[in-house]
Structure 1
Amino acid sequence: SNTSNFNMSITSRRSRKTDKNLSLILQNVEEKEVAQLDLIQDLNQEFFFRSYELIQALMDVDSAIAAKMKRFVDIIGRMHQLYAAEVAEGTDRREQIAEANRKLRLALESTAMSNSMMDELKESVEEAWRTADSVQHRETVRQHSLRQESSAYDHSKNNIEVEHEAHPKELRIRSLVYRERDRLAGEIKDYQKRLEINRYYSAGLEQINENHRTTITKQHNRLKAMEADLYTVMNKNRVNIEHLEEKLLSMRRELEALNQTNAELRVFQRKYEECGHLTEELKHRTDRLTQENYMLQKQNHRLEEEKFQSKVIASGLEHDIKTVQREKESLELIKQVHLHEIKKKADVNALLSRRFMQISKKNQDLIEQESTMSHLVVVVEKKLLYANSKVEEVKRQRDDVTREREKLKVEIVTLMDAQSNLKHDIFNQRNQIQDIQVLLDRANKTLDEKDNKIHHLQKEKAELVSETNDLSKNIEVLEETLQNKNERITTLLERLRLKHEEYISVKKQMELIFSEKAALEKNYTTCCRDRQTVQSLNSKLSFQVNQLTTQLAINEKDMIGLRNQIDQLNSAVKHKLNDIHSRDQQLQRMRVEVHEMKMRSEQLISTIDQDEKRFKQVSCSLEDLKKEKNLVGLQMVRRNDELKLKNEKLSMMQLALDRGTMQYNQRIEDIRLLKLEISNLRSSNSCLERALTQTSNMRQEVVRLERQLNRERLRVTAFTEEMKHPCHIHRWRVTYAKDPKKFELLRKIQLLLKRNIRLGIERSRVQAQLQESERRYEKLKRQLQYVPDRSIVDRLWKQRHITHQQSRKIKAMQAELSINEIDLQARECLIDVFQQTLKDQLMPNKPN
């Protein structure tokens, strides 16, 4: 007993020291809410240093809990390192995205600058062509005027020489005719030179057109190659998107499995609460046992008082014995008679002493059972603490799983944003291809414009290739992150499996506790029976003590020994009562601590729920903002495309108006020249008619002049038709009035013009049909992107099969739960029956 007291005192001193160290460490720790913590700055080296100090302080109290705390701190440290690394990667990705956006803005600005430069080059080329045409026209006019002056000078010399030889009137007529002839010949030469210049110009234009055609074919081939590259990129992106969708489906399945595990953990928590209620009932029963022990101690005190009274009676009996000794001589005969009876009574006293020893042994057994019960209570409390720690671990793991699920949701949103950005980039690329086709249609005029546009297209192609490479790299990085997340989820599933095995072990331990409880209840019934027997024996012994008061004087020495033993037993009982009182205080402290832990856990759960609600609200608002942003971006893109189309239409209309104004001015000048020529011809005709009236011998010359007039009229009509419908090619037969099939040629020209007009209308109609077909093709592409494939149907069938199997498993689990509930109800009924029997047994004992 002394060694046990010494050990208890040492353990109490150690516990006090450890409590003081823990209190000092906890005073130094700053208390903050979990929502206010910064997971990068607050979880620093000081935090981990304090946690390790706390673990060292806990090593003196309980090494197992300290080892588990150290494991948790190590896990938190690794999670903090991973979180910091992911945050750094996120910042790097944001910087990369900002740089990509900046590059896109620079590219858009460069394209706008290039478009403006191309427009300026077009205008400068048109002005250069205009100035070249005007210079050529001026040079031809000057050459014509010089030739007229030289021919007039030569004719004047010839006329002066002829006037001296011929008649003056005839000379005048001849001079006029020759002048007109020379003028017409000069004009014919000028027209021939113009025809040669126009032919040379038309040949140059044909060469330019052939060069344009070759460049157009090359650019078409390049466009086809670019379209093939785009098609391959689209296929790769589609395959990547399908892989990502499959991964998302797998992640969703795993999230469903985690939700199922959470449901199982909730069921485990409910069962744990039921076990807590059972432990409370056990504590109540232990309290009842302590009360009964207290009642037994009171009965022992009563017995001691009765013994004291018997001692007083024994002292009175000694006085009587002295008086009897005086009369001893008279009672020797009676003494001899009663010797035999005294021997019998001595035997009875020995039997009583033996029974007292048996009662003391039973009392010691009861005390040992009480100590074993208290030890079992301590073990149950330790198991409860261990189960609470496991529940807290499971809660922490559930929080980690929820955090990782939220991270996965954020990553899914980023992937969806990347997918939308890819679609947007593809749409922009298509629009750029359409712009390139419009530029190719415009590029039929000049080679310089085409070269610049080709250079611009090459730059854009290089930028697109770089962008596709960046996108492929981003997709590979995202796939690696998804693989890491899958590995983490597998590790978490293995941890959950281990926790489930621990839960099964705890369940088995609880069943062992229930069996031990049943054994304790049986021991309690036996103790009650022994107590009843002891009470009956005490009543018999009290009756016998009253009868044998005369014989107690002989056995005073034995009574003194019994008193010493009783004193020792009383001291042992007092030590046990002190131990029981200390254990009760410890139990109360542990209950207070458990209550505080429950309050803290409820507060933490409430804060977690509030944070989850806030996070859901914030995520909803962010999703709404992202949707609005995407809508605004699409609207801006559509408006920019519409503005581009309108600007292109305006530029085309402006070019058409400029061409019309140039042609109108040219035709006005041609009409003015033709009017001058017609007036000159009329004047010459009037002169010739006057000469014909005066002369009748010049019929041949008149016929010749009429033929020349017809030829000139045909030329005028040909030139007027050409000015109306310029073909840049003159038929020499029409100009020289030697075309025998003029009417047929006119008909052919009219038919060809009609055919050209009809073909132009059909070409415009076919272009419109092609645009509509391309638009429908794009619509079908967009619709087919969202049409489910055969693989998706197979996945749906597999998912249905999996859900059917899981529903079967759930039904089996429900059946097992119903069976377990029935077993629990049966056990509760048995416990109620045992409690009722205990009450029935205790009620009749209380009045005794």
Structure 2
Amino acid sequence: YLEESAFEALEKDSQEFISILNRDEALEKFRVEYEKLLAIMKKSRENEKHLMEKCRKLSAELVEKSSKVAVLTKLTKDDGETISSLKSELEKAWKMVDKAHEREQKTKETINSLKKEILRLNNLMKERAGQEYNVEDLLRFQEEVTEERDQLLSEVVKLRQSLAEITEQQQETERAKNEAEESILQLQQDIQLRQNEELREVRKKEKMETELKNLLAEMDNKQAEIQKLQQQIENNKEEQLKMENNLREQQILNENAGKELEQLKMKNQKLKQESEQQSAMFDDVLKDIGQKTAQLKEAEDEAAQMRLEISKLSKMRDVLQNKLRTAEEQKVDADHEKSMLKNEIIRLEKEFETAKKQAEIDKRTTDGLVRERDMLNQNLIKATNATQKQIDLVKLHEQSKQNLEAEIQSYKIEAQKQRKIIYQLEKERESFINEMSELKEKILHNMKDLEIHQMQICDYEKEIQVQGIKLKQQQNLCETLRSERTLYSKNLIEAKDEIAEMKMKLKTATRQLDQLKDELKEKDAALEKAHVEHEQSEKEKESLKCELLRMTKQAMETKAYIENQEAEEKKLLKIIAEADADRLKQKKEFDKVLCERHALGTQLIRRNDEVALLYEKIKIQQAILNRGETEYRQRMEDMRILKLEIKKLQREKGILGKSAANVEELRWEFNHMQKELLREQTRCKILEEQLQKPLQVHRWRKLEASDPTTFELILKVQRLQKRLITKTGEVIEKEFLLQEKEKLYVELRHVLARQPGPEATEQLQQYRNILREKMKQIKVLSSELSMCETHSKEYKHEIERLNNELLEMKKKYLAQKRKERQKKEKERSSIDMRMKLPPLKTDVHHFNIEDFPLSRSIPKI
């Protein structure tokens, strides 16, 4: 990583160098490329700063995320503790419910016993209703019974009130229990969500760690490659200095070679122009020959079949000269056509003679071309010598390639070592994965325990439902008791009516007694009867007294029973008070649970917001990582291109070394490079061993009651972050050095571009190809010439034959003319003789067919 001062110094040096280049017009291209490279360097500097800032931000975010992960782990532990406390509170609540259930059963039993006693008393009342009592005793007894009944009814009312209160308490406890169960379910869901989030975060963390490890491994590989490249670049610098000296020497040679090349180019251009002119001449000759051959063929056809030849000549004239537009007129006038054909034959003969002359000229031109071919063959021999030199250079390139392959083999060995290191890291990762799987199994075990507890809760709920059913049955029993109470009240009203009737009877009885007293006075007999009745009443009175004593005893027993019931009622009231106290405690605990639930809800909302922020940051980081990957790939491609260019430079270096004959110096440099390479390799190995097994082992002392895994992870993360920062800085430095080397390489390329290198060989190859094509064309033309000569000979023979035939035809025509003239002369002479002489005789000689010779064939018109 370059400092600002060093970068400014570089910029100043580059500007000075540009000003120096501006002075020389020959180095304009070099100056332009140098300025481009400077712009690229500035951009890379800005990118470097931007990437460093991104690295720092990423490291800070990593630290924040690790702290957040630690906080989340602590919260999950706290949630586990709250779950266990809630479970204990639930168990206490269930115990309280069981106690209330037992109390309800006891109250039900007491109510049943009281009902039985009421029934028994009612039965006794019914038994005694049939007997006759003294009015006063009965009234007293009735009052006592009513008081006892009122007391019992009041007790029943109190018991019902207590039952209603107990049922309300039970309902409230059930509601509290349902709310607690709902809160527990919500907490369990929240716990599951947190566990899922923790697992996601752990997975993400693992992915990030693996990516970090991969990036670090790649960074190490790149650093090793960069170090090697630096060594190569340093060696290249040294070689460059030597090469510059050689280049200065070669520039003079190149200038001379350039001048020679320009001369050769001028010669080449001249040769090209001459060859083009010759090819144009050749084409014209070929066209003329073609026209002549066509015309000769037309002449042959005309000689063979005049009418067909006329049509062909008309077509050829339409194509070539557009002169034979009067073909129809020629068909009509055969004699005119014959004369035209004769003229054409004469013209063709003249053209044939001109074609002969042109053929002789063509022969001369072909001789000149053959001479030029010989010259070109000589040039070819020279070019083959040059190619032999190029082959030698290729061999040198192959030797350098073999050396490079040996270096690649050493790189492969180093890559195998790095693969071993990666394998060890993968083993560590597998151990961490096993630990994670064990933790997951523990979590699953805890989840199973939670499910068992949930099943127990469901069982308790079922029991509560059963208890509710029992409560409903008890309520039904209470309603039956109420109906019985109404019946008893009805019976009471009936008894009061009967008492009123008895009072009326008593009144009537008193009146009768008064009447009887009057009658007693009046009747003594009735006294004896009254005395007997009195004795009977006394006996009945005694029996009633016995019954009263017995009833008092029963009343005492009932009082004792009522006292026992009151004691039991007090006990029940105490139980109800305890149940109320427990209910209040449960309410308080329920309120606490609700508060905790609200607090947990708010915490959950905060955690969800934090998780959302974390996800957004992770997305941003992933986008940054993707950009980094793309930039990294670009850099890798640049590295690959640089490697290819370095290989080219090495090849060119070999060529220049051969040309300069600095083999001993190159060998010394090669040995020096190998020594430096070995030194750097040993240094890399030592550094790797130090990274794997650091010397300061006892830097961190293990503390009691600490979490060693998370602590070690945090240390590892910090260490990796530091390494990442240092490696990025080193990478940036290496990139800057590479850019400088690229500049030097571009300069070398420009210097080498001026030298006659592969371009000259390519031009030679092009010239060879052009020569081969020209030779092929010459061969084709020579073959066409020979064909034309053979055709011209054939045409000559045919013309001679046609001339002979024409002569024969002329002779025949002349002979026929002569015969016709002779015939005419004979006829004229015969007519003159007739005019002069007497009529002719019958024995006049007639012309015979035998007089005309038919050995010759009639010429075709």
**TM-score after normalising by structure 1:** 0.29
Could you say which structure has the greater relative contact order, defined with CA pairs below 8 angstroms and 6 or more residues apart? 2
Task: Specify the structure having the higher radius of gyration (Cα).
Answer: 2
**TM-score after normalising by structure 2:** 0.29
